[in-house]
Chain A
Amino acid sequence: MQKQYIRTYLNNKFLAYITAAAFLLCAALLGISIGTVSVSPITIIKVIAAELLPFISLENTDTMHSNIIMNIRLPRVLLAGLVGASLAIAGAAFQGLLRNPLADPYTIGVSSGASLGAVLTLFLGLSIPFAGMFTLPLFSILFSFLTIFAVLLFARNIERSMKVETIILTGIIFSSFLGALISLMIALTGEELRQIIGWLLGSVSMRGWAYIKIIIPFFGIGAILLLVNSKELNAMSFGEEKAQHIGVDVQKRKMMILIAGSILTGAAVAVSGTIGFVGLVIPHLTRLLWGPDHRHLLPLSILMGAGFLIIADLVSRTIIAPTELPIGVITAIIGAPAFAFILMKRRTERSG
Chain B
Amino acid sequence: MYPFEQYHSKALCQALVDQIHLMADRPLRFMEVCGGHTMAVRKYGIPSLLPDSIMLLSGPGCPVCVTSSLFIDQAIHLAAYDRMTICTFGDLLRVQGTNGSLEKAKTEGKDIRVVLSGLDALEIARQQPEKKIVLLGIGFETTAPTTAATILTARKEKISNFFVLSAHKLMPPAMEAIISEGIPINGYICPGHVTTITGIAMYKKIVENFGIGCVVSGFEPLDLLQTILMLVRQVKANQPKVEIQYSRAVKPEGNPKAMAIIEEVFETVDEWWRGLGILKASGLKPRDSFQDFDASEVFSLPVYEISEPEACICGDILKGLKKPQDCMLYGKNCTPDNPVGACMVSSEGSCQTHYNYAGIN
Q: A and B from one assembly?
A: no
Residues of A at under 8 Å CB distance from B?
none
